[in-house]
Amino acid sequence: MSTMRTHTCGVLRKEDDGQQVRLCGWVDTVRDHGGVIFIDLRDRYGRTQVIFDPDDSREAWAQAEKCRAEYVIQVEGVVELRPGDMANKKIATGDIEVRCNSIRVLNKSNTPPFPLEDAQAIKVSEDLRLTYRYLDLRRVGMQKNIRMRHKITQAVRAYLDGAEFVEIETPIMTKSTPEGARDYLIPSRVAPGTFYALPQAPQQYKQLLMVAGMDRYFQIARCFRDEDLRSDRQPEFSQIDMEMSFITPEDIFAVVDGMLVEIMKTAGHGDIQTPIQRITYAEAMDRYGSDKPDIRFGMEINDLSDLFEKTDFKVFGRVIEGGGVVKAINAKGLGGAPIRVMDDWTAMAKDAGLGGLAYIRVQEDGTWKSPIVKFFSDAEKAALQERLGMEVGDLVLFAADSKEKANVALGRLRLLAGEMAGVIDKKAFAFTWVTDFPLFERNDEGRLQSMHHPFTSPRFEDLALLDEAPETVRAQAYDIVLNGVELGGGSIRIHDPALQERMFKALQIPADEIKDRFGHLIRGLGFGAPPHGGIALGLDRLLMLMVGAETIRDVIAFPKNQKAQDLMMNAPARVDAQQLKDVYIEVIIDEDADEN
């Protein structure tokens, strides 16, 4: 293998019996068994047991006696079979050991600040592990995740190369453009008062590559967004980014379906059925209360408005008369849910905008326990029973409000109920495409904004509504979802410069801002831009699901913590005054602000 080692610590087998070998690695454990010392030697390929007997080499034995965990050593010796009852079937090299006659300590180690065994390390503060990330990465679990990241990335590259895609790098230093989050800015030294921005996505570059005739582009793209962090977000992340010319959404679906088949095989999860099922945004919201539906279990939302159109229960009646809906889910088997759970769920429903949460418990004798049942007619009860398939032990949860509020509230309750009932198969992988998103949505200030981004094409049959009823326009946009997690999203782009300007105007972007921020794109579209579209899948998020990690930090070699800090490098950090002067920046710190 190299001048320092003949083998790694994970490759020796029975067939190597009698062979003279030289190994390098880290001391995993040291054990003294009645004067004979055993060292488990570890590298990223595995572990090998090394035996030091004073009768073989007193000098080597004496050196081994001084070794401690995480020392880096080189050993030489002869491979021999372990006695039959001493074989370790838990590791690949468990049938052999190396009888050592020479050892060299390459480097000593301080005592690690936390144990490096997976089961113990995960109990340690994550901030401590991130501070010593180079030690955390020695763990078997972390190394397995990082190797899987490499394998999946290579599988993606091979698949897309076979599909005629060309990998092209786009700039990291670019222009600030709206992508839905704050930009990270870089001041320019040579152009005082101006700034580059780190890309939130290579969106405009990849569209201009289609104008350039590259036809099929992809990139494992680095993206940067200054936004609040969660378990599935990082300030810098990677995405599988692609764009294609002369296509429809069907072409995107086919390419991504095939890529996901390869990814699943590479991750060891077997095959998946293609084409992956599709569901419209409207249907996803109506059935699951989410545009990221988890379809691994039932408990779907039912619209019961037609059953209560003439009800004597005034709460439901007033909602329906006002244009609202009455919806419900049957939380199968949760009829005995404790009062405290119902209190928590009621509070959550109120947080989602509902006035409250009505429910029915189906008791052991088949009767319904609920303060609202007395207002229902026999016909309404029969229809409710038939529609929801209510059985002993069930819990029916009602939402009566606008369709949007009812869907969102029941969508959240559905996930909680599924988790509590234990009906979600944690080993299952359920993919779905969500299509036909609205082109626009209202922000907190009531202003119209793009649901995806302003380069998304409307459905052509809805173009006439763009000016008069923009909120009813559907987009040629689509998301790929796995187990209730959005893996990625994309769209068919606007390739007509006139339509692109019309889109900007619908968003009330001033003409001078359009020219300043997007003039290069509109100009490019005017030179024969082909119809094109694409998608970007979050690589980190995808890997998190493939390896069953709790957070994307477990599949990134050097992540930031939840405060966007690199604890290992102590970044972000102050810079000296001269560096700031070189880029014409003066830092003014609010004395009342917390400098930490």
Cα separation, 301 vs 413, whole angstroms: 10
**Could you say which DSSP state residue 568 is in?**
T
Q: How far apart are CA 73 and CA 26, in angstroms?
A: 6
Is residue 585 in some structural domain? no
Domain presence at residue 335: yes
**423 torsion bin: left (phi>0), alpha (psi -120 to 50), beta (else):** alpha
Which tokens belong to 88?
């370790």
233-283 confidence digits (pLDDT tens): 899 999 999 999 999 999 999 999 999 999 999 999 999 999 999 999 999
458 shares a domain with 558:
yes
Do 312 and 401 reside in the same domain of the chain? yes
- Alpha helices for 461-593 (secondary structure H): 497-506, 511-525, 539-547, 577-582
Return the C-alpha torsion angle 364, 365, 369, 375, nearest 10: 150
Q: Is the Cβ–Cβ distance between 237 and 179 less than 8 Å?
A: no
Q: Do residues 447 and 420 share a domain?
A: no
Distance CA 572, CA 217 (A): 34
In this prediction, residue 443 carries a pLDDT of 82
> Residue 509 belongs to a domain with what CATH number?
3.30.930.10
For residues 199 and 173, the answer to whether their CB atoms sit within 8 Å is no
> Phi and psi dihedrals of 176, rounded to 5?
-70, 125
DSSP reduced 3-state for 351: helix
The CA-based dihedral angle spanning residues 539, 146, 197, 527, taken in that order and rounded to the nearest 10 degrees = -40
Alpha-carbon distance of 211 to 473, in angstroms, equals: 26
Task: Using the 3D structure, point to which of 83, 107, 131 is the last residue of a domain.
Answer: 107
pLDDT digits (tens, 9 = 90+) for 129-143: 999 999 999 999 999
Both tokens assigned to 310 = 């003439």
How many other CB atoms are there within 10 angstroms of residue 108's CB atom? 12
At position 165, the amino acid (one-letter code) is: F
Cα(53)–Cα(299) distance, integer angstroms: 65
Same domain, 73 and 183: no
pLDDT of residue 1: 66
The answer to whether 294 and 288 have CB atoms below 8 angstroms apart is yes
From the list 12, 20, 14, the residue with the least C-alpha distance to 41 is 12
CB-based burial of residue 447 (10 Å sphere; 0-12 exposed, 13-18 middle, 19+ buried)?
exposed
**Is 390 within a domain?**
yes
Cα–Cα dist 239/195, whole Å: 24
438 in the same domain as 417: no
Residue 326 forms part of a structural domain: yes
Please state, in angstroms and rounded to a whole number, the distance separating the CA atoms of residues 452 and 441. 9
Let me know whether 80 and 176 are in one domain: no
Q: Checking DSSP bridges between strand 20-33 and strand 36-43, what pairing results, if any?
A: antiparallel
Statement to judge: residues 569 and 512 lie in one domain: yes
The answer to whether residue 182 sits within a structural domain is: yes
Residue 429 backbone phi and psi in degrees, to 5: -125, 110
Residue 140's nearest CA partner among 240, 40, 16 is: 40
CB 164, CB 205: distance < 8 Å: no
Residue 414 maps to a domain: yes
Domain boundary pick from 424, 458, 488: 424
| Residues 524, 480 within the same domain | yes
Domains in the chain: how many in total?
3
Contacts of 310 (CB under 8 A, 6+ apart): 317
Q: What is the pTM of this model?
A: 0.92
CA dihedral (205, 207, 208, 210) positive or negative = positive
- 33 domain residue, yes or no: yes
Taking the C-alpha atoms of residue 560 and residue 317, their distance in angstroms, rounded to an integer, is 51
Q: How far is CA 560 from the centre of its chain?
A: 15
Q: Specify the pLDDT at position 596.
A: 45
> Which residues in 266-276 are b (16+ Cβ under 10 Å) and which e?
bbeeeeeeeeb
C-alpha to C-alpha distance for 364 and 336, rounded to whole angstroms = 10
**CATH assignment at residue 44:** 2.40.50.140
| Residues forming beta bridges with residue 223, ordered by sequence position | 237
For the CA atoms of the chain, what is the radius of gyration? 30
**Other C-beta atoms within 10 Å of 413: how many?**
24
Q: Which residues of 398-408 are buried (b: 16+ CB within 10 A; e: fewer)?
A: bbbbbbebbbb
One-letter amino acid for residue 202 of the chain: P
CATH number at residue 332: 3.30.1360.30
Q: Are residues 529 and 400 in the same domain?
A: no
CB proximity list for 572: less than 8 A, separation 6 or greater: 564, 565, 566
* Domain residue limits at 310: 297-424
Alpha carbon 131 to its chain centroid, in Å, reads 23
Same domain, 180 and 237: yes
CA-angle at 125, arms to 121 and 127, nearest 5°: 115
Q: Are residues 457 and 572 in the same domain?
A: yes
Residues for the chain: how many in total? 596
Q: How far apart are CA 500 and CA 221, in angstroms?
A: 25
For residues 201 and 269, state if they share a domain: yes
Q: Give Cβ neighbours of residue 228 (< 8 Å, ≥ 6 apart).
A: none
Q: Give dist(CA 549, CA 157) in Å, integer.
A: 23
Question: Has residue 135 been placed in a domain?
Answer: no
The Cα 331–Cα 417 span in angstroms is 6
Shortest CA distance to 264 belongs to which of 129, 532, 256, 486?
256
Q: How far apart are CA 13 and CA 1, in angstroms?
A: 17
The first and second tokens of residue 121, run together, are 């390390």
Q: What CA–CA distance (Å, rounded) separates 507 from 525?
A: 19
Is the CB of residue 541 less than 8 Å from the CB of residue 106?
Answer: no
- From first to last of its 596 residues, the chain has per-residue pLDDT tens of 678 999 999 999 999 999 999 999 999 999 998 889 999 999 999 999 999 999 999 999 999 999 999 999 999 999 999 987 889 999 999 999 999 999 999 999 999 999 999 999 989 999 999 999 999 999 999 999 999 999 999 999 999 999 999 999 999 999 987 556 889 999 999 999 999 999 999 999 999 999 999 999 999 999 999 987 776 789 999 999 999 999 999 999 999 999 999 999 999 999 999 999 999 999 999 999 999 999 999 999 999 999 999 999 999 999 999 999 999 999 999 999 999 999 999 999 999 999 999 999 999 999 999 999 999 999 999 999 999 999 999 999 999 999 999 999 999 999 999 999 999 999 999 999 999 999 999 887 878 889 988 999 999 999 989 888 999 999 999 999 999 999 999 999 999 999 999 999 888 889 888 888 899 999 999 999 999 999 999 999 999 999 999 999 999 999 999 899 999 999 999 999 999 999 999 998 876 655 44
- Closest residue by Cα to residue 156 from 247, 254, 245, 261: 261
- The token pair at 205 is 């570059």
Listed residues 107, 134, 166: the one ending a domain:
107
469 burial level (CB within 10 Å; 0-12, 13-18, 19+): exposed
